[in-house]
Amino acid sequence: MRRSKIRRRSFMAALLGVLLAWGITGNVKAKNYRTQVNIAQQRALIQMCEYLDSMETSLQKAACAATPSMLGVLSAELRTEATGAKASLSALSSGDTALYNMYKFLSQVSAYTAALQQRAAAGETLPQKDRQTLSALHGYAKRLSAQFNYMADLLDAGLFSFEAIRQELLQADESGGDMVSYLSAAADAEESMQDFPTLIYDGPYSDHITERASQLLKEASAVSAAKAKEIAAGALQTEPDLLVDAGTSAGKIPCYQFYRDKYRVAVTVNGGYTAYVLSDHVGGEDKIGTKEAIARAAAYLQKLGYRDMESTYSANENGVCLANFACKTGDYICYPDLIKVGVSLTDGSIVSMDARDYLMNHVERTVPAAQISAEQAARAVAPSLQVKRLSKAVIPTPGGYEKYAYELLCTTSGEQDVLVYIDTSTGEEDDILLLLYADGGALTK
């Protein structure tokens, strides 16, 4: 974090000692004050970026919502995000109220979504006119988010100060609010960093270890350290005598830990399951394809004793294919029971495996009969969405429970892929996720 430097000119060669002491004290106090302001403004800029990123996502999801309950949830989120963004903008601009258009936009989002929330509480659905309004607000939020993230990137690179940001914001706002020519003085700076979502997943619900205790491990018998070493050796395809004992870890999943060379492996004390495999693998040239990498990952899970696992999503990065597998129960994909496997695209070797989600969440489920048909679920999505694929899924809830839902892969008129989850019992929307496609695979937010 860069500190602002305050320089004082010297007008006289000789000063009385008391005046010199007073000058030094004043300088230190001023510098400390400027430092505190600088820290507060930098924190405000980071928070502003986070709020705008969240607003962009929530507005896009709201335009896809079909039920009053989902619309109510997203409207509440938008009000919170808009209010937080206004507070951050005030801190960033040192209380300057001249940024009229930006404040107006954030206030409009807050007021508009408050109205939507009231209508949702009354059981009203969203007409096409409001969907168009939300789409327009999303477009502006997207531009605003990109611009603030660009400012944060340039500030981090030390290319200008907060005062420069404030002046550029004022100039851009006075030009009519479009801010097309913002930060013109930094036009020759390096290009803006990519605008990634706040939460990046390798697929739906890929990071959701819950706080409840694992029923799978709770009911399993403890294994000895010697037995755990045999299991760990099998996971690393080596001999037990070649492994070094690294002690026992505590936490929600107590494990025996072992390592050899660049690999580290953990085996659960209860049940003797391979919990994870880690390595300091460095990627090389890609020599095998994603399909082969996923096949090798599936075979590895079979060898470890993880059955009925189905590949869901994958992403390639730095010479490694990270493949997600979820347990299949009947015709339901159980997203809480997730295992990630990293496969080297150079030689097809296993470089990582993480089964902690599976170990925390897997249970023998009795799948209830669906109360609505697939056709009814397809009709429950917003009219603006076109259904491309329908399947069934078990999804986690924020409270640590599970729901059974139809998973519908849809697309908007703007060719944005969206995952909509419709409760198999109530027909209500349980969740909406936006699909993003990167060079290495699919992501959601």
CATH number of 389's domain: 3.10.450
Q: How many structural domains are present in the chain?
A: 3
Residue 124 belongs to some domain of the structure: yes
Residue 194 belongs to some domain of the structure: no
Residue 9 belongs to some domain of the structure: no
* Whole-Å CA distances, 80 to 111, 203, 255, 417: 11, 26, 41, 26
Question: Residues 287, 425: one domain?
Answer: no
Question: Residues 384, 355: one domain?
Answer: no
Q: pLDDT tens string for the chain (445 positions)?
A: 333 332 333 333 333 343 344 444 444 444 444 455 566 777 778 888 888 888 888 888 888 887 778 877 887 888 788 888 877 776 765 444 445 567 667 777 777 777 777 677 767 777 777 777 788 888 888 888 888 888 778 777 776 566 665 565 555 554 444 333 323 322 222 222 222 222 233 466 665 544 567 889 988 999 999 999 999 999 999 999 999 998 898 778 899 999 888 899 999 999 999 999 988 777 778 889 999 999 999 999 999 999 999 998 888 888 889 899 999 999 999 999 999 999 999 999 999 999 998 999 999 888 889 999 999 999 988 888 899 999 999 988 766 678 999 999 999 887 888 899 999 999 988 888 888 776 556 667 7
* Whole-Å CA distances, 372 to 84, 119, 378, 410: 39, 26, 10, 19
Structural element, H or E, at residue 275: strand 274-279
Residue 133 belongs to some domain of the structure: yes
Question: Residues 114, 243: one domain?
Answer: no
Q: CB atoms < 10 A from the CB of 3, how many?
A: 11
pTM: 0.59
Question: Residues 295, 413: one domain?
Answer: no
Question: Residues 413, 352: one domain?
Answer: no
Q: Which domain holds residue 344?
A: 215-361
Question: Residues 27, 166: one domain?
Answer: yes
Question: Residues 153, 28: one domain?
Answer: yes
User: Of 305, 330, 361, which residue constitutes the final position of a domain?
Assistant: 361
Collapsed DSSP state (helix, strand, coil) of residue 33? helix
Question: Residues 157, 251: one domain?
Answer: no
Residue 4 belongs to some domain of the structure: no
Residue 366 belongs to some domain of the structure: no
The upper half-sphere exposure of residue 119, i.e. CA atoms within 13 Å in the direction of its Cβ, equals 15
Question: Residues 118, 226: one domain?
Answer: no
Residue 6 belongs to some domain of the structure: no
Say what percent of the chain tops pLDDT 70: 72
Question: Residues 23, 101: one domain?
Answer: yes
Max Cα-Cα span within the chain: 91
Residue 206 belongs to some domain of the structure: no
Question: Residues 252, 158: one domain?
Answer: no
User: Of 311, 327, 361, which residue constitutes the final position of a domain?
Assistant: 361
